Amino acid sequence: MGNRFVKPEETFEISQFRNVIKKCKKPFIQSIRREYQENSDYPFDAKFMCKIDAYFRFIWNSYFSSPVERILHSGAFILDLRCGTGTFLLDLCTKYQNSNFVGIDHRDAYFPRDLAKNLKNVKFIKHDILGGIPYENNTFDFIYMRFTMKYFTEAEWKTIIIPEIVRVCKHGGWIEIVDTDLNIYNAGPCTESFHRKCINKFGLNYGVELDRLQDIMNIYKNLGITIIKEKINPWYPIQLQKSNKSFEMAAEFLNFLYPLMSNELRLNRKDYENLSRHIIKEIAENKTYSPRYNNYFIYLRVLS
């Protein structure tokens, strides 16, 4: 199997915003489905996952990078593993109505059943994929996974996850794994400390790294070329075109994390807001950004 690295985009240029800004006048966080945001009974981490989905969807201006647009329009069978809140499937199943979509996750409390009940081409299954994927060989045209590298150990990726997704993928199908390196660069002391505590709080300090996952995939001789896309995403405020307002992702995330992290840090609202302002100041002054491998895609074309 050959590997091809796509040159990283070292800046998040304003020109990349043009089409998105036209469609989304408000900050991207506010564009997330109201059903998730206004339902107080919805789990906090599920709401957070919606924000993460929206963030990456906004940055890449696409939910996937595999060349599957044509088959999605004509009719394909798509699997989303650890589908979480189902935002990926809900958006795609309405756009590609000739295709059928399946989401699998071990937590059915996250499934958007109310949103999906009137959609005939999507379903959600509660199942732990460490017990295998409950489908026959060569079933899916496109298999998608995101933000999962830190949730499974290297041994689990090697002996269960990769063998299973290869097994259920059709010959000539595509597998796409989307994730992010959790490091940040040019971070001030308060920013670095807060970031480290968030990583620990969410239990994201173990799992498999990109190079090790790539080694595991190289074992499978029937996998074709692998393409890894890289992008560097700044967290410092960016001036939007024809606007005096800055685009501040970090500020919105800090505000959203208040219920969880204020308790973790034992800070009241005022002290947490003071800390947030200090972090935003550090980010702006130091031009803090996420790593070169902030969001990478791995596409594996399964050869016949």
| CATH code for the domain of 220 | 3.40.50.150
Q: Residue 273 above 50 pLDDT?
A: yes
Q: What is the DSSP letter of 42?
A: S
Distance CA 67, CA 131 (A): 30
- Residue range(s) defining the domain that contains residue 50: 3-302
CA-closest candidate to residue 230, choices 72, 4, 14, 9? 9
Q: Residue 26 above 70 pLDDT?
A: no
The domain total for the chain is 1
Give the position of tokens 């000539």.
Answer: 172
Radius of gyration of the chain from Cα atoms? 20
Look at 172 and 12; give whichever has higher pLDDT. 172
pLDDT tens string 186-204: 889 999 999 999 888 877 7
